[in-house]
């Protein structure tokens, strides 16, 4: 194959193409840098002293709308197509003001920041994304109610924290972007690569 043929082949590849045709997909609302800094402060002030917890890296903080999971090139194309067809939406305000353990009970596996969004815009976006993915046959809706959150730490054992007693400084931000990601698992942790981003007006 000549250099010219190779370049033309690459130009025809769809957005988000990966050579190995294997993906681990999810759709999320992105968190702006200043709000990420606020959540990192939560980690440092309230959670870092607990040896049983592993902090979520700043680059991985987001609000998951739908986790699609393992997928091939066909599923990637369908997911990108959905993102391109999302109805135009306005940006909306989000507040993170409390820490919760998930699942609820004595031994949560995740420490999360609860997401509060009162206008209904976030729930509407979640419904459009999950319904669209399900209609394309690449996602199965969960029966339990959706609980929007940001995972900020994971438990490697039983943590001794009383999360209800922690009152972190609220973090507020304007959601302006939702993204389809490929989560690439590496020895040092996951790398989240954006495949398709949609701006909110």
Q: What is the pLDDT along the chain (201 residues), one digit of tens a residue?
A: 454 444 444 445 444 444 457 899 999 999 999 999 999 999 999 999 998 999 999 999 999 999 999 999 999 999 999 999 999 999 999 999 999 999 887 678 999 999 999 999 999 999 999 999 999 999 999 999 999 999 999 998 777 788 999 999 999 999 999 999 999 988 777 899 999 999 999
The verdict on residue 1 lying in a domain is: no
Residue 57 CB-density burial (10 A; 0-12 exposed, 13-18 middle, 19+ buried): middle
139: tokens are 């996602």
The verdict on residue 172 lying in a domain is: yes
The verdict on residue 17 lying in a domain is: no
Q: Return d(Cα 195, Cα 83) in angstroms, integer.
A: 10
The verdict on residue 8 lying in a domain is: no
Q: Is the peptide bond before 25 cis (omega within 30 degrees of 0)?
A: no
The verdict on residue 6 lying in a domain is: no
The verdict on residue 63 lying in a domain is: yes
C-alpha distances out from residue 148 to 90, 112, 126, Å: 19, 10, 9
136 DSSP assignment:
T
Q: Give the three-state DSSP class for 164.
A: helix
Residue 29 sits in a domain of what CATH number?
3.90.1140.10
Q: What is the pTM of this model?
A: 0.86
- Closest by CA to 95, choosing from 65, 76, 115, 125, is 115
The verdict on residue 27 lying in a domain is: yes
The verdict on residue 125 lying in a domain is: yes
165: tokens are 């007693």
Range of the structural domain that residue 50 is part of: 22-199
Q: How many domains does the chain have?
A: 1
Q: Return d(Cα 119, Cα 134) in angstroms, integer.
A: 25
């Amino acid at each position: 194959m000549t250099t010219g043929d190779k370049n033309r082949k690459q130009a025809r590849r769809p957005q988000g193409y990966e050579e190995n045709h294997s993906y681990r997909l999810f759709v999320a609302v992105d968190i702006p840098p200043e709000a990420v800094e606020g959540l990192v402060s939560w980690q440092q002030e309230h959670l870092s002293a607990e040896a049983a917890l592993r902090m979520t890296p700043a680059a991985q903080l987001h609000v998951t709308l739908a986790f699609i999971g393992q997928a091939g090139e066909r599923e990637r194309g369908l997911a990108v197509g959905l993102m391109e067809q999302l109805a135009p939406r306005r940006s909306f305000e989000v507040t993170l003001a409390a820490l919760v353990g998930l699942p609820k009970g004595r031994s949560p596996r995740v420490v999360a920041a609860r997401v509060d969004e009162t206008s209904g815009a976030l729930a509407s976006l979640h419904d459009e994304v999950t319904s669209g993915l399900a209609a394309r046959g690449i996602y199965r809706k969960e029966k339990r109610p959706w609980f929007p959150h940001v995972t900020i730490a994971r438990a490697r054992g039983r943590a001794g924290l009383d999360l209800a007693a922690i009152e972190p400084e609220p973090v507020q931000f304007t959601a302006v972007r939702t993204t389809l990601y490929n989560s690439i698992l590496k020895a040092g942790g996951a790398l989240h690569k954006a495949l398709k981003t949609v701006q909110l007006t």
